[in-house]
Amino acid sequence: MKWKRSERLVDITLHLIEHPHELIPLTFFSERYQAAKSSISEDIAIVKETFEEKGAGQLVTVTGAAGGIKYFPKMSDENIKAVVTELIEKLGEKDRLLPGGYLFMADLLGNTRLMDKIGKVFASKFADQNIDVVMTVETKGIQIAQSIARYLNVPVVIVRRDSKVTEGSTVNINYVSGSSKRIQKMVLSKRIMQSGQRVLLTDDFMKAGGTMRGMKSLLEEFDCELAGIAVLVETEHHDEVLVDDYLSLAKLCKVNEKSRTIELNEGNYFEKGGQSS
C-alpha cells in the first residue's frame, strides 16, 4: 500500500498521541509506510511544528543508533488557565455545599472530559521529571491518577485502606491524619513497586497533608523517590502543612453554610512557575 503524505501525517500524529513519552525509532515509521527516512523526517518536522504552534505538546529528537522521537503532551499556559477557571466555576456552584462545609465533587471526578484535561495539565508540569509511577489512595483520587498517568504513559498504583487477599504480601503503615489527628492505616502490595522508582503522588483534596505524608512514608518503605505531589483542590491552611513542594489547581478559602457561599481561588500551580521547561 502506497501512503500519501496527508495519510502519513495523520497516522504519525495519531501514533504519537497514543504513545506519549515512548521512544519511537524513525525506522518504525519508515517500514510502516515503505518510505525513505528523509521523507519521514520531513513529515515529523511538519507534525512537530503543528504541535508547538497549537500548544499540543513537544516532539523531541533523540540522536544516535538507538535514537528516534518522543512526544511529550503539554498544554499552553493559556489553555491551562482556561481549565483552572472551568474547575473553579464548577466547584463554586452553591448546590455543592454539604453539611459540615464539605463540597460535593463526585460528579466532577466522574466527568471524563474534565478529568482528561486536568490529567494533561499536571502531565504538562511533570513531563520532564522522569516519572515512573503515579500513586494515589483509594478511592476519589483514582480518576485523577489515571488521567495523569495516561499522558505520562506510566502505571497507576492505588494505596488501600485495608488488606485484600488478592494483594498478596503487603506493607502496612500507620499515619496521623493531618485534619482529624486520628491514627489511620495504609496498605500496599509488595509486588506492585520496584526500588528506585520516581513516584508522583496525587489526590482530589488536601487539608493539612496527612494522607500525602502517609504515602511518602510508604515510598520510603519501598526505597522509592518522591518526584512530586499534584492536588486537585487544597484548603486554605491555618495550621502547619505536613508536606512541601506540592501543586494544586484550586484553593478552597471559605464556605458559609448559612448564606450557602463558596469562596475559591486559583491554587499554587502558576506560583510554582507554570509548566516545566
Please spell the DSSP secondary structure of the chain, one letter per residue. -PPPHHHHHHHHHHHHHHSTT--B-HHHHHHHHT--HHHHHHHHHHHHHHHHHHTSEEEEEE-STT-EEEEEE---HHHHHHHHHHHHHHHT-GGGEETTTEE--HHHHT-HHHHHHHHHHHHHHTTTS---EEEEETTTTHHHHHHHHHHHT--EEEEBSS--GGG-SEEEEEEE-TTT--EEEEEEETTS--TT-EEEEEEEEESSSHHHHHHHHHHHHTT-EEEEEEEEEEEPPSS--S--SEEEEEEEEEEETTTTEEEEEE-STTTTTSS--
pLDDT of residue 139: 84
Q: Residue 179: pLDDT above 80? A: no
148-161 pLDDT tens trace:
999 999 999 999 98
Task: State the architecture of 77-266 in CATH terms.
Answer: 3-Layer(aba) Sandwich (3.40)
pLDDT of residue 192: 93
Average pLDDT, the chain: 91
- Structural domain spans, the chain: 5-73, 77-266
Q: Residue 274: pLDDT above 60? A: no
209-258 pLDDT tens trace:
899 999 999 999 999 999 999 999 999 876 678 888 899 999 999 988 88
Stretch 2-29: mean pLDDT: 96
Q: Which CATH class is domain 5-73?
A: mainly alpha
pLDDT of residue 161: 87
Confidence at 190, pLDDT banded by 50, 70, 90: very high
